[in-house]
Amino acid sequence: MKQKVNIIGCGRAASSLARLWTQTGSVSIGSILNRGETSTQRSVAKLGAGTPARSLNEMEPADFWLIGANDDQVEAVARSMSALASKLNGSVVFHLAGRFGLEVLEPLNNGTVSLAALHPVRSLSDTALSLEDFADTACVVEGSDAALNALKPLVTSIGGAWLPVDSIDRGLYHASVSIISNITKAVAWKAQKWQQNAGLPEETARVVTHQLLQSTMNDLFRSGAQQSITGPIVRGDTSTIAAHMDAIGRTHPGDVEVYRVLARTVLELAQERGDLDEKTLARFAALLGS
């Protein structure tokens, strides 16, 4: 008999995974419960799978229970689930909140349930994500041996890269992946606005930005950040950096600090690589702040 997964909080992330599992047939979707009955019915209709539940008590037993609620609601859901001892016995309960590990599932840590935290490191959009898109997605996971052994086939069946960890600093980890994903997008958006205000048509700015992002990612994958950085900071060209700051200050005065922080980050990378001598570093410190 095919294993079954129940979902509590079938939002974008949980429903994306559910769609992929449905496509591969690797697991069947059992009961689905959202905060409102209408939302629950909508999730079931969009997935074309699962059975709507109006409460935790209505949910049927399952091999896996996925908590897809917002990060700050996971622990509260776990506390509510602790009353379902007979239904949960022998099952795996896991959540998708990158900023938390197993501590938010502590209310369920009674010895009869296997616990795990699974974080697919990518944007999950339930309307667009395909198996091809998800292939090789890093899936950072921690949990008991029993939970990991049970959960691994579900992740690998949809092409996820299984990356187990143990007791990591979740705050620092989640900050790091947020920087890579959302802040990279925000910086690209900001730079595109600068291009448009410099006189580039919107479509031209979009093409320039996207092509530069693509070539930058190719360089990063091929050589790594330290070996692939180029530009005026690596060359020790403080006059060009000063000109950048002057131009930004004239057109986007509120963005000067954004540029200064990012430039200091590039400087730190160049310093680690050993490109710059002490005199050049001193000039940059005077320009950008220490």
Domains along the chain with CATH numbers: 4-166 (3.40.50.720), 171-288 (1.10.1040)
Between β-strands 114-120 and 138-143, what pairing exists: parallel, antiparallel or unpaired? antiparallel
Mean pLDDT of 69-87: 93
Rounded to a whole number of angstroms, the distance between the first and last alpha carbons of the chain is: 62
Query: Coil, strand or helix: which one is 57?
Result: helix
pLDDT bucket at 123, cuts 50 / 70 / 90: confident
Given this model, what pLDDT does residue 126 score?
A: 57
**Do 63 and 4 contact (CB within 8 A), yes or no?**
yes
pLDDT at 90 over 70: yes
**Read out DSSP for 109-160?**
-SSSSEEEEEEE-S---TTT--HHHHTT-EEEEEE-HHHHHHHHHHHHTTT-
pLDDT digits (tens, 9 = 90+) for 1-26: 789 999 999 999 999 999 999 999 99
Given this model, what pLDDT does residue 177 score?
A: 93
Q: What percent of the chain has pLDDT over 90?
A: 90
Given this model, what pLDDT does residue 114 score?
A: 97
What's the CA gap between 279 and 58, in Å, rounded? 70
Given this model, what pLDDT does residue 129 score?
A: 80
More confident residue, 86 or 233: 233
Mean pLDDT of 102-121: 96
Mean pLDDT of 246-265: 95
Tokens 């143990």 locate to 166
pLDDT at 171 over 60: yes
Residue 219 CA, chain-centre distance (Å), reads 22
Cα–Cα distance list, 175 to 100, 118, 172, 180 (Å): 12, 16, 5, 9
More confident residue, 128 or 157: 157
- Phi, psi for 279 (deg, rounded to 5): -65, -40
Helix axes 256-273 and 278-288, enclosed angle (nearest 10): 160
Given this model, what pLDDT does residue 275 score?
A: 85
Tokens 């699974």 locate to 118
What's the CA gap between 187 and 44, in Å, rounded? 37
Residues near 163 by beta carbon (within 8 Å), at least 6 away in sequence = 138, 139, 140, 141
